[in-house]
Amino acid sequence: MPLVSLKNTITFAISVRDRHASANWYSDKLGFELSHHIDEAGWSEMRTSVEGVTLGLGEQAEPVPGNCVPVYEVADIAEARGVLEAAGVKFDGETETIEGMVSTATFYDPDQNAMMLAQDLSGG
C-alpha cells in the first residue's frame, strides 16, 4: 500500500527565464493551452493534450537546463520530428530506435530543457 494516495493528475515542473514567452512557445509548438499565470508566485500552468497532465513553468533568472524530461507519445515520430524541426525546434542527435519496442528523439525548448518524443513500436 502506498504511503500517499495520488490523484489522476501530474504536473511536470520546469524552470524557465520568461514564463510568458515559454507559454507562447509551448502553445505554438506543441498546442498546449494556458491554464493561468500566477505572476506573484512566478508560476504558470499549461494544459497538455493528455488529460490530467499539466506543465508547470517556474520562473528563475538562471534556470538549470535538464531539470525535467517529460516524454510525449506520438503516433509517427518521423512526422512529428519533421514538423517541429521545420518550426526551428532543436533536436539532440538522431532518432533512436529499439526495434519492436520504441523510437525516441530528444529535443529542447528555448531554455534548453530536454524533452522526448516517443513512438511505441510494440504494437500494443
Structural domain of residue 52, as residue ranges?
10-120
Band the pLDDT of 41: cuts 50, 70, 90: confident
C-alpha cell at 11: 504536473
For residue 64, is pLDDT > 80? yes
H runs (alpha helix) in the chain = 19-30, 77-86
pLDDT > 70: percent of the chain: 94
Residue 56 scores a pLDDT above 70: yes
Question: Does 3 fall in a domain?
Answer: no
CATH of the domain at 30: 3.10.180.10
* Within a domain: 22: yes
- For residue 49, what is its C-alpha cell? 493534450
Average pLDDT, the chain: 90
Q: How many domains does the chain have?
A: 1
In a domain, 15, yes or no: yes
How high is the pLDDT of residue 65? 82
pLDDT at 8: 80
4 in a domain, yes or no? no
